[in-house]
Amino acid sequence: MTLLEFQEFVRNICAYYERRIPNDHTLDLWYDRVRNIPYESVEWIKGRIFEQDTFPKNYPVAIWQLYQAWLEAHPEKRAPDRTQYSCPDCESGWLVLEKQLPQYSIPISHSAPCARCKQVKAANYMSLDDAVRNGYRRKDLVSEHTVQRQPIRELIESIGRPVPDPAAM
């Protein structure tokens, strides 16, 4: 927030509690400690301060603590980390792909920065549509994980090789 926004903020709080407004030097010192707090959180912080019975003893510390509480209440504001952005095409910014090539029995894996959300920094991006046009398909991480938890008997049957049944021995 700017110094002017901060002064207005303090003036509001002081008026509410019928306190004398601190002198400019004190305000400057306080402002140094809270300048990095974004102005969009100020109304919320002010509301919490008004809920308290007394004027905060250590004003900058009180503001920082409330700002932390505001961040907890608004995790999406935790700038600049935006890797949690949920995109329907990718996993945290990466297209996770595979491609079946005739010479291999299992598909090759490939990944590329997602052009839809661009949440990872990269020189080149690939869209899921382009990937599909180039013969890739999106790797289904959820169902492939399920395959690993398949019952052992189904796995054996899927291999198609007879295995001695321990119960019949």
Binding site for Zn ion (CB under 5 A): 87, 89-90, 114, 116-117
Q: Shortest distance, CB of residue 158 to Zn ion, whole angstroms? A: 33
Nearer Cβ to Zn ion (46/138): 138
| Residue number, 33 or 138, with CB nearest to Zn ion | 138
Nearer to Zn ion, 37 or 97 (CB): 97
Helix axis angle for 24-34 and 59-73, nearest 10°, is: 30
Nearer to Zn ion, 46 or 110 (CB): 110
Beta bridge partners of 155: none
Q: Name the minimum Å distance from CB 75 to Zn ion.
A: 19
- Min separation Cβ 117 and Zn ion, Å: 3
Q: Tokens 């052009």 map to which residue?
A: 115
Q: 119-138 as b/e, with b when 16 or more CB fall inside 10 Å?
A: beeeeebbebeebeeeebee
Residue 107: CB minimum distance to Zn ion, A: 21
DSSP structure string for 14-54: HHHHT-PPPPHHHHHHHHHHHTTS-GGGHHHHHHHHHHSSS
